[in-house]
Amino acid sequence: MLSYYMEVEPPIIVRFGNNGIVTKQAIGKGEITFEITGGRHFTIDKILYVPGITKHLISISQATTNGIIIEFHYNHAIINLTQSRKWRPY
């Protein structure tokens, strides 16, 4: 669930990795906090709210630009926050 939600004006056009444009635009933004191993948490800010999109998407390029290491495996992914400059576990 988004916290610190605020509407954005004008709406933001969202692009996917294949440069396709979402027909619906982001109308708000906020942040989301996840619980990770050991009861720790981390927060991602500037999460966009796009009505009509039914899946949660993360920008891999934004994550890796901020120092997060992401390893993709057959049926899961491992996210390593230890080198993150922005998304810090607490």
pLDDT tens for each residue of 58-83: 778 878 887 788 899 999 888 887 66
| Residue 82 backbone class (left: φ over 0; alpha: ψ -120 to 50; beta: rest) | alpha
Nearest residue to 42 (alpha-carbon basis) of 33, 52, 30: 33
* SS3 state at 50: coil
Enclosing H/E stretch for 63? helix 60-65
Residue 68 CB burial class (10 angstroms; 0-12, 13-18, ≥19): buried
Q: Is the pTM of this model over 0.85?
A: no
Average model confidence (pLDDT) for the chain? 78
